Structure 1
Amino acid sequence: MNDVFLSIGTNIGERENNLKQAVRLLQHQFEVINVSSIYETAPVGYLDQPSFLNIAVHVKTSKSPFDTLFTCQAIENELGRVRDIRWGPRIIDLDILLYNHENIEAENLIVPHPRMYERAFVLVPLVEIAPNFACEQLAQARQKLDTLDREKEGITQWKTIATVDEFVRSES
């Protein structure tokens, strides 16, 4: 089984419910091991939009990296993702951050995610759910997180999540 770490973000509609729906759909395709707390973050890139809610999710799968990407994109489509503005508002965004210990560079997939180390809204939840997962990329993420100014990055813990089941079953 492959260990995969995903980042999920949303800033349109019922944001917490969007995250829950995405995790529920992930559960149909993968073994969902852990979900981070929910973090609220200021937008990056395109600034004229609402704040995001972000989580990290650890899943196990027998799928290849490209099948995992296809599944994530299918979930985005099912939830109504529209790609109008780069870094713009979105109902849901699923990104593969890490796939095992692998480095992948293909036209449609780069792992580790190419901007992962620049974004506290990705690193904070990722490090939270992988405190004991040992790989070079996570060691680098932990080190980079120590140098980021979380307040300047506009990230705050919005809600603590105890378990995956609690998260997907709770009312928004």
Structure 2
Amino acid sequence: MTSSDPTVQPVPTSVVERVDAADVTLSNPKRAVISLGSNLGNRLETIQGAIDALEDTPGVRVKAVSPVYETEPWGVDPGSQPTYFNAVVLIKTTLPPSSLLERGHAIEEAFERVRDERWGPRTIDVDILAYQDVVSEDPLLTLPHPRAHERAFVLVPWHDVDPEAEVPGRGAVVELLSAVGREGVTPRVDLELRLPE
């Protein structure tokens, strides 16, 4: 493996994890991966608020929080929107995917997310990237997320919190990340998210 290989990049030290002993609060929990992004308002505060709201959800425990990355908006002309802060969280949950999706939408609404245009600016974006090993073509919630495997701003923080992760039906996150590279995904080492108390 050469030093130019994107998977050899040093892993930020700000991954925050909760020990598995905390799972005693849930019965038969499932593992899920959630992406958070914000490019309006106080981006860091909003993402932290979304993490806290997930933790406050009955049947959800936030297990790990990635470092913060700054990225250009996806699917639009460079400079046409503010840059994003992005992060990935691992959760354990007893909620089914549909209920987790509803909770994600409720969190977006609480932070006044507006859905006027595709790939438009947003206060918060809450996306379920994966839920256990579920593969589903349901148009309401496609699992895994249909574009997660090609987005560096998703794969980089996902690899941080779970280096052994697999995207169901697509392969190992580390291999997918090697294919897309880390270009445009800037670590914000001056910023840090925290696990909820």
**d(CA) in 2 for partners of 1:121 and 1:135?**
15
> What stretches of structure 2 of length at least 5 have no aligned partner?
1-28
> What are the equivalent positions in structure 2 for 1:1-172 lying under 5 Å apart?
1-29=29-57, 30-47=60-77, 48-133=80-165, 136=168, 139-151=171-183, 154-159=184-189, 164-165=194-195
Deviation at 1:161, TM superposition (A): 7.3
| TM-score for the superposition, normalised by structure 2 | 0.78
Give 3-state SS (helix, strand or coil) of 1:104's partner. coil
Which structure: greater helix fraction?
Answer: 1
**d(CA) in 2 for partners of 1:43 and 1:162?**
21
Cα offsets for 1:121-143 (capped at 9, x unmatched): 00000111112456755843221
1:94 partner amino acid? V
Distance 1:63 1:117, change over 3 A: same
Deviation at 1:159, TM superposition (A): 3.0
Give 3-state SS (helix, strand or coil) of 1:105's partner. coil
Number of residue equivalences? 165
Give 3-state SS (helix, strand or coil) of 1:68's partner. helix
1:66 partner amino acid? S
Cα offsets for 1:46-72 (capped at 9, x unmatched): 231010000000011100000000011
Identity over aligned pairs, percent = 37
**d(CA) in 1 for partners of 2:193 and 2:171?**
24
Distance 1:91 1:163, change over 3 A: closer
Q: Which has the larger radius of gyration?
A: 2
> What stretches of structure 1 of length at least 5 have no aligned partner?
none
**d(CA) in 2 for partners of 1:31 and 1:134?**
21
**d(CA) in 2 for partners of 1:158 and 1:68?**
28
1:19 partner amino acid? I
2:68 partner amino acid? I
